[in-house]
Amino acid sequence: MPRPVLVLKFGTASITKPTGELHEPALVDIARQVAALRDRYDVVLVSSGAVGAGRGTIRDYRGEISQRKAAAAVGNLLLLNVYSRFFGVYGVTIAQSLCERHHFANRDQFLQLKDTYEELWANGIIPIVNENDVVSNRELKFSDNDELATLLAVGFGAEVLMLCTSVGGLLDPDGNLIRYVPRLTEAVFAVVRTDKSSMGLGGMASKLTFAKLATRMGIRVVIFGLAEPDSIRKALDGELGTQIEPQPITMSARSRWLGSGSLVVGRVRVDAGAAAALQRRSSLLAVGVSEVLGEFSAGEVFEIVDEADVAVAVARAKLSSFDLSALSSRQNVEVANANDIVLL
């Protein structure tokens, strides 16, 4: 019987010093705690820090995209060597996995990724994942590792997604830790500060955005810090950090993958009639689309929002946004088949 999957994400601020060098005591502690979790879970470790680790090797570093890519090329090697050394103390072998968005955009590619991870777990190996910053054709700020960790958690049907942060969890306006969140509502988002660490790309708003996606897919999310001894175990057991409850879900694996939002490249707004039809598991017809927001091609995934701009579904397009705009008055043109629509 397959074991539950645990996805752990560590951001740059959690594992590097303010100057960018790797904070080795933090990595030592991560290795110790994660090695102990292998008896309970198949673990995926998503780790930032490559750019921070490598930036000191780039002359006149100013944070330009080419410099970030070069820093990542150096830093990935430094980061994995350190992880390998510290996990090796516990007899644990690690593997590097550099992912790009297209690995999640194509079902066959994703299944190959899944098969590889399952083979690694079968051999007691922990995959350490990072975005492939060196060849990514998107600027890094558009795809942080909170998103990558969430896509992995959703795709693998993880039991728990843990997001490490330098502040230890979700804080209220007075700076007090919010220990338990039954559901991520607008009121919860309203308490989030918009600042972020100087080294990282994400922040609490990013974490909550992807936490909402994960919980909608039935995954428990824990936002925690490393300040206390055995913090990973304690956070996993609900003793510290912010615990965000999963929502009920009955989706198949394919629907979870489609519904993860990994491929969303545009949105369409639908009228009340179309929104109601979707809830009855009907296909989306062009006549129900009131506005096309963003561009997408046939076969890509777009988000469907209602008249109040609330996301109600994601769907795989049968035609491009250009064609949809031209055919919006045609009543019987199918934009997305019911089998390719996942209600949110």
Distance CA 148, CA 144 (A): 7
The SS3 call for residue 40 is coil
Helix (H) or strand (E) holding 212: helix 204-216
Residues in CB range of 186: below 8 A, 6 or more apart: none
Helix/strand/coil for 215: helix
Phi, psi dihedrals of residue 312, rounded to the nearest 5°:
-115, -20
Here the tokens at position 335 are 């934009």
φ/ψ of residue 237, rounded to 5? -90, 5
Rounded Cα distance between 227 and 254, Å, is 38
User: Does 321 show up as a binding residue in the annotation?
Assistant: no
Measured distance between the N- and C-terminal CA atoms of the chain, rounded to whole angstroms: 29
Find out whether 132 is annotated in a ligand binding site: no
> What are the distances in angstroms from CA 297 to CA 41, 289, 301, 319, 321?
38, 16, 8, 7, 6
Tokens 């030592």 correspond to 28
CB atoms within 10 A of CB 169: 23
Contact 328, 268 (CB under 8 A): no
Instruction: Flag whether 9 is marked binding.
Output: yes
CA–CA dist 76, 90 (Å, integer):
22
Residue whose structure tokens are 């516990």: 90
User: Residues at the annotated binding site for ATP?
Assistant: 9
User: Residues at the annotated binding site?
Assistant: 9, 48, 133, 145
User: Residues at the annotated binding site for substrate?
Assistant: 48, 133, 145
